[in-house]
Chains A and B, each alone.
Chain A
Amino acid sequence: MALLETEGAKAIAAGIAILGGALGTGLAQSAIGSSAMGVIAEKPEQATRLLIWLAIPESILIFGFIVALLING
């Protein structure tokens, strides 16, 4: 239990927050990315527009980042 009272525990928690966010973002982006590739194969002019869609799940990582900052703050 002493571990949980140390700065190290905070760092681990912050790491988990970022890791969870990153995994969630990665999973969502992998689905969007593969679908986007399908669209680009048929309509290459949509490529730039799809970049915005690809950026949507990055919010999850941003939330992880905020949580990590709050834990360390």
Chain B
Amino acid sequence: MGLRPVKMAKVRLIGLKSNLERTIGALESYGGIEIRKVHAKGLDNIRAFAGHDETIAKMLRAEAMLSRMQPTQAKARMGEKETSEFLKSKEFREILERIEKTASEIEGAEGEIANLQDMKARLRKFSNFGIDFGKLASSSVEIVAGIVPAGKGEAARKAIEAIPDCSFAQKPASKNTTMFIVALAKGRDQQLENVLKTGFERVTIPQIGSTPQKAIKSTECAIAELEARKAALEKELGKISAQFYPKVAACHELLGIQAGKSNAASAFAGSLHSFIVEGYLPEGKFARFSQEMRDEFGERIEIIKISAQELERRHEEAPTLLEHPKILGPFEFMTKFVSIPKSNEIDPTMIFLLFFPIFYGMMVGDVIYGLVSFILARWIMSKVTPDNILKPISLVWMWSAIPTIIFGFIFDEFLGVSHTEIVARFTGAEHVVLYHGLERIHNIELLLGITIIVGVITIASGFGLGLVNALSHGNRKHAIAKGAWLGLTLFGSAAVGTMAYSVFPAQFLTPFTAVAALCVAVIIWAEGFMGIIEIPSVMGNILSFARIIAVGLVGAIIATILNDMAFPSLDKGALLILLIPLYIAGHLMNAGLAMFESLIQGARLNYVEFYSKFFEGGGREFSPFKFERKYTKSDT
């Protein structure tokens, strides 16, 4: 844990090609090294293992089976050897066949049910006619059916009546439509032209040998039989799942691992008899890694270490590994949310932990809202899944509730009013004065000054960290420029404060201004005249911290309005029924708004104003070569 990511070293392994598979196994088993694809002149990258495509095909088949099964928990994880033997067994093939057969029968039954449901819906439209459709077939007469919207029924009837040698019947098909069955001489379809113009929409007559009512009944029976069959098949699949899901899942997992290992071979480069591979690992763990490799391969492997310092000298970028206690997890999320730091720059997680709660606490700044935000955050956490983005955000809210309560006491704000007033409102006890707080609504100018000072300190800290970053990279000119910016921020602000608000005695004005001017000269020397353009931007960054008081005031004023207009005092009589829920909901909404707005604005002050002074980002997260195992365990 610290202000920098874990130091990463690079490792180069050279070994015998005959040991390639064992080496990949050993690297996976170690689980703490990120393999990097080697591009070496004169050496080709090694192809995936023989049978790779077959492994992938098997894995996809197992995946398809798993998607049809009902997931069940494994009682114990299977060993690799046991899983591998099961994969080759006749039992595994038989299980797959059983699943495929059952699932395919279920799909077939579902398809038939859908067809029959569709048929039933079509038959219903004809159910009012009571005609035996089996008797309608004729070599000289054509039967045409069609639906017409209710308003056009009369026009359609007239058009049909106009057709010579034709007879028809009409019945309501639904609430808003009428069904017509028209009998006309075969081959006289063109006579329907005028009928079609009335909105007559032709409907296929179901191929049934009875009346629609009878056909509906027999369709319903067929559906019921198929439903029963489907239920029995699903029960059968459930039984297979309960018995074999963990085994099939273990096979799928093992096949995935085998495919992953086989694929990893392509990161290796090799000659006829030897291979070379490179990877990154935490520098502190190199000795253990080296020992493990020696134990496995003895002298038949060459291990070369390239230290973090050497990587820095070569300007080679290693992957970034952030290591913090679990408790800082949500703040690490906030860092990664913007960008992952490079492995050789400052990790801003601890800085975020230090600054963000202060900004957030100053913005919400109410004891009761602090408690409410803590409870709301706990509630959200209990409702969301661990991979939901709201989980780490809720944790940040929970942590930030502590400074919110502290600032609430400093500002003497309890639901937007002082402790004296809140005690008076709820208990009737007048003039209870325990202390005098810095109420935001009555001290706007003072607090505005304080937020600007917070801004100056934050921006100066940013430049300070930028100075440290530049020094650690050995970039002296950049470090001098950062130092000059730091000086300009501090002394320039002090000069302005002294001139406009007499923050310091007047005799300090000249030296402050002189140092600030000297800093400007250094900036011009280090960054050129373009550097001066940045001065208004830094001023804007500092003034931007005024949002702390602005956002805070909004919350405090909404709370005050609620207290003035909706406070449910006993003298309100029957109105209390309305006022109590309105008062509670109003304050809950205000607390929620304050939580959300303060999170966004607090994060923004860090990301935009603060981080821009020292943070580069754009790092790549360390991703060790290992596989997640839920159903299998390694035999080694």
A residues in contact (CB < 8 Å) with B = 48-49, 51-52, 55-56, 58-59, 61-63, 65-66, 69, 73
Contacts and interface: CB of A to CB of B under 8 A. Distances in A.
A55 B601 contact: yes
A58 B337 CA distance: 21
B604 interface: yes
Contacts of A66: 448, 543, 546
Contacts of B444: 69
B445 interface: yes
Contact of A62 (B338, B389, B544, B607): B544
Contacts of B543: 62-63, 66
Contacts of B601: 55, 58
A52 B546 contact: no
A71 B608 CA distance: 28
B600 A52 contact: yes
B604 A65 contact: no
A69 B452 CA distance: 14
B448 to A, nearest CB: 6
Contacts of B338: 52
B389 to A, nearest CB: 6
Given A49-B337, A58-B547, A73-B445, 15 more contacts: A51-B600, A52-B338, A52-B600, A52-B603, A55-B601, A55-B604, A58-B601, A59-B544, A59-B547, A62-B546, A62-B547, A62-B550, A63-B540, A65-B546, A69-B445
A55 B544 CA distance: 12
| Among B540, B543, B544, B604, residue most surrounded by chain A Cβ atoms (within 10 Å) | B604
Nearest to B600: A55
Interface string B508-548: 00000000000000000000000000000000100110110
A48 B389 CA distance: 8
14 contacts: A48-B393, A49-B337, A51-B600, A52-B604, A52-B607, A55-B601, A55-B604, A56-B608, A58-B601, A62-B547, A63-B540, A63-B543, A66-B543, A73-B445
Contacts of B448: 66, 69
Nearest to A51: B600
A63 B547 CA distance: 9
A49 B389 CA distance: 11
A62 B445 CA distance: 14
A73 B445 CA distance: 8
Interface of B: 337-338, 389, 393, 444-445, 448, 540, 543-544, 546-547, 550, 600-601, 603-604, 607-608
Nearest to B540: A59
A69 B337 CA distance: 34
B539 to A, nearest CB: 10
10 cross-chain pairs, A with B, having the tightest CB-CB distances, nearest first: A62-B547, A55-B604, A55-B600, A59-B544, A65-B550, A66-B546, A62-B546, A51-B600, A52-B604, A73-B445
A55 B393 CA distance: 17
B618 to A, nearest CB: 15
| Among A56, A62, A69, residue most surrounded by chain B Cβ atoms (within 10 Å) | A62
| Among A51, A56, A66, residue most surrounded by chain B Cβ atoms (within 10 Å) | A66
B337 A48 contact: yes
A51 B444 CA distance: 28
Contacts of A56: 604, 608
Contacts of B544: 59, 62
Contacts of B547: 58-59, 62
Nearest to B609: A59
A41 to B, nearest CB: 18
A51 B338 CA distance: 12
Contacts of B550: 61-62, 65
A14 B603 CA distance: 28
A59 B604 CA distance: 10
| Among B547, B601, B608, residue most surrounded by chain A Cβ atoms (within 10 Å) | B547
B90 to A, nearest CB: 45
Nearest to B550: A65
A67 B546 CA distance: 11
A13 B601 CA distance: 27
A40 B345 CA distance: 31
B388 to A, nearest CB: 11
B337 to A, nearest CB: 7
Contacts of B445: 69, 73
Nearest to A56: B608
Contacts of B540: 59, 63
B458 to A, nearest CB: 15
A65 B447 CA distance: 14
Contacts of B600: 51-52, 55
A58 B604 CA distance: 10
Contacts of B393: 48
A66 B389 CA distance: 34
Nearest to B444: A69
A52 B604 CA distance: 6
A55 B551 CA distance: 12
Nearest to B548: A62
